[in-house]
Amino acid sequence: MKMPRLKTYVFWVAAFFLGASAHAAEAEFKIASFNAAFCRNTADLKNWEMRKAFVMPLVEKNGVDICCMQEPYAFQVRYLQTQTKFYEFVGQLSGFESPKLFADRPDNFSSANIILSNMNNPIWYKRAQFEILENGKFWLSKTPSTPSGGFDQKRFDSERHCVWARFKHLHTGIEFWVFNVHVLCGKSPEDPEQIESAKLLISKIKEISGNGTFLLCGDFNSEENSGTLRTLLASGMREASAISREPLKGEKSTFTGYDDKSSKRLDYIFVSNDVEVYQVEIYDTMKAGLRISDHRPISAVVKIKKQPL
């Protein structure tokens, strides 16, 4: 008579642990894209000195687990690293290791592309939650494996690149790829250079991640009705705010130009079709009467499930 009760007990214990195991096989985290703004001239350098102490606190305060950042020079990234105990960054840094080197640079931007070749796209991540398994960098150009200008090499702002990393979520063992890109400024909504950059992104993501789970973040310098976004969406990737279970939260635009005269949405998060999106938010960047950047961060709460073997 006691055996059926024992079997029932064993069944429910097994069900409990199976349920716990299934729950543990879901990696949920918040990822963000944030153009933290470079320094175009010495006036921007002074502006950086005023706003730099607010950048990482903004990321931490909003509970971001992975932050794809665009534009900062090496000395900016080095400073930000000193301001956080929780994050590491991945992405090879180039150029301008000190504010003085920037201030003393040759004033010949158009021919040497000095400013843009020194920008970086670091991916910040919480070291307690993730491990980097591999990472790399490619350029949005005809020669993506080497530092180079874009498809139209006569354009000043054509030297742009994408940093990528393969992550392991430590609690679940789930692996995924993150791509962090900064596309050049477009001359029109159908800018051929931007569209070629989008096509290259699609190709490289497929080459690097195969059929794996990926998230693509960045400053695309493109609005929602542009050829760039249509090209990306046509590949099968999805824009986070369009599939989020909750409506877009916070601000409506991501570019302010420091003065709030712009209402453009230029920054996005795209995901592969096996990523669930629960909430997307655009954050205000005003602190002590100062804009922390000329862009607002955008974040997405996502969930990735471990695929059965």
Q: What is the mean pLDDT of residues 182-209?
A: 96
277 against 107, higher pLDDT: 277
Beta strand 286-287 pairing with 290-291: antiparallel
* Structure-model confidence comparison of residues 33 and 112, the more confident one: 33
Judging by beta carbons within 10 Å of its beta carbon (0-12, 13-18, 19+), is residue 90 exposed, middle or buried?
A: buried
Q: What is the pLDDT of residue 14?
A: 47
User: For residue 208, how many other CB atoms are within 10 A of its CB?
Assistant: 17
Would you place residue 308 in the very low, low, confident or very high pLDDT band (cuts 50, 70, 90)? low
Confidence of residue 7 (pLDDT cuts 50, 70, 90): low
pLDDT at 17: 46
pLDDT at 242: 97
| Backbone torsions φ then ψ of 164, nearest 5 degrees | -135, 160
**Beta-bridge partners for 277:** 302
What is the mean predicted confidence (pLDDT) over 115-124?
89
For residue 167, give Cα distances in angstroms to 176, 214, 218: 5, 10, 17
Straight-line distance from the first to the last Cα atom of the chain, in angstroms, rounded to the nearest whole number:
39
Q: What is the CATH number of the domain that holds 230?
A: 3.60.10.10
Q: Alpha carbon of 291 to those of 27, 120, 285: distances in Å?
A: 33, 21, 6
Separation between Cα atoms, residue 74 and residue 59, nearest integer Å:
19
162 part of a folded domain: yes
Q: Which domain holds residue 257?
A: 28-305
Residue 184 belongs to a domain: yes
Q: Establish if 15 belongs to a structural domain.
A: no
Mean predicted confidence (pLDDT) in 165-174:
97
pLDDT band at 306 (very low <50, low <70, confident <90, very high): confident
Under the banding of pLDDT at 50, 70 and 90, the label for residue 5 is low
Whether 18 is covered by a domain: the verdict is: no
Is the whole-model pTM more than 0.75?
yes
How confident is the model at residue 260, as a pLDDT? 77
Assess if residue 1 is contained within a domain: no
Task: Give how many domains the chain has, as a whole number.
Answer: 1
**Percentage of the chain modeled with pLDDT above 70:** 88
The strands making up 267-271's β-sheet, listed across from edge to edge, are: 130-139, 161-169, 175-182, 214-219, 267-271, 238-239
* 250, two tokens: 């916070």
Which pLDDT tens digit goes with each residue over 187-199? Answer: 899 999 999 999 9
127 within a domain of the structure (yes/no): yes
Residue 20 is predicted with a pLDDT of 43
CB 11 within 8 A of CB 267: no
Tell me what the pLDDT averaged over the chain comes to: 89
Alpha helices (H) along the chain: 2-24, 42-51, 55-61, 74-82, 99-103, 109-112, 114-117, 192-209, 227-234, 240-243
Residue 23 lies in a domain: no
Phi, psi angle pair for 225, to nearest 5°: -100, 20
- Is position 2 within any domain? no
Model pLDDT for residues 31-62, shown as the tens digit of each residue: 999 999 998 888 889 999 999 999 999 999 99
What is the per-residue pLDDT for 149?
Answer: 84
Does the structure show a pLDDT above 50 at 19?
A: no
Q: Where are the beta strands (DSSP E) in the chain?
A: 26-35, 66-70, 87-90, 123-126, 130-139, 161-169, 175-182, 214-219, 238-239, 249-250, 267-271, 275-282, 286-287, 290-291, 298-305
